[in-house]
Copies of this chain bind each other. A is one copy, B any other.
Amino acid sequence: MEDFQKILKTKVFEIEKIIGAYLPKEEGFQRKVLEAMNYSVLAGGKRLRPMLMQETYRLFGGRGKEIEPFMAALEMIHTYSLVHDDLPAMDNDDYRRGRKTTHVVYGEAFAILAGDALLNFAFETALKAFPIQTEEPERLRVEQLLGIAKAMEVLAVKAGIYGMIGGQTADIEAEGSNSITTEQLLFIHENKTAALIQAAMMIGAILAGAGVGEVQRIEKCAYNIGIAFQIQDDILDVIGNQEELGKPIGSDEKNHKQTYVTLNGLEESKEQVQKLSEEAVQIIDSFGGDSMFLKELILSLIHRNK
């Protein structure tokens, strides 16, 4: 476990170097939006999505550099969604990870623009995986270009109205209603949380040359991780240690928020987390190869106690 933490730290450091290399230089008449973008991305975080992408890429034998723009792009999309979620018209949060949120520092107009800019720049960055500037187009293969196009498509779909934005919409709608079904709740978790984890792992697999069936199993694996992560969140709200968690326990019940636990009970929720995570690990194992770190990473996410 100590080893895992050490490796994790090294990997986060490496990933932050990759992301940093793709951030814009703060210069020109548009400098302010560039500053707000970089402030938002460099606010820290677990860099979980690029890490899952890189690990899945390696699991399928990927050894190239074309994964790097996609790692940076996915983190930009994750970041823009936080910047816009924190806006006064949305969750109205002034702090995130102990740091002032983007609209508090740069004002609302620039937080909206910086979010837009990060989303747009994510696609601009991912497109750098295409060897557009090549001087030897005769050395390119159709298969390789189609792979990058497929990875772009997964990125766009999982971030959009049939992914993260869809889940965010359903979540806002649910907040305004008195009752929610398990179907609705799973839709929200699948799209709001699991979709970007799916994007991460699917893109890693696709760029490493995995086949259609393998990518589908990775999609299922990432679904399980996302849903288990969310249910664990709800479980911790009921049984967690307030000090470790950093937020008052039982807050969901007090806020009359319906969760997987309030709908299905604590025992079934725990069983569900166990089942989902076992299945996720089984899928990873089925591909063979060295996946020790990836599996530890997945389990640490799901079975966390804070």
Contacts and interface: CB of A to CB of B under 8 A. Distances in A.
B33 A166 contact: yes
Interface stretch (A114-122, A215-223, A258-266): A114-122
Nearest to A36: B169
A143 interface: yes
Contact of A160 (B121, B148, B150, B159): B121
10 contacts: A29-B184, A90-B112, A110-B172, A116-B119, A117-B161, A123-B123, A124-B156, A127-B152, A142-B142, A152-B152
A109 interface: yes
Interface residues on A, range: 35 or more
A149 B137 contact: no
A172 B106 CA distance: 13
Contacts of A34: 161
Classify the secondary structure of A's interface with B: helix
A157 interface: yes
Nearest to A191: B30
Given A32-B173, A130-B152, A148-B149, 19 more contacts: A29-B187, A30-B169, A30-B191, A33-B165, A110-B169, A112-B112, A116-B116, A116-B119, A117-B161, A117-B165, A119-B119, A120-B159, A120-B165, A121-B161, A127-B152, A130-B153, A132-B146, A142-B145, A149-B149
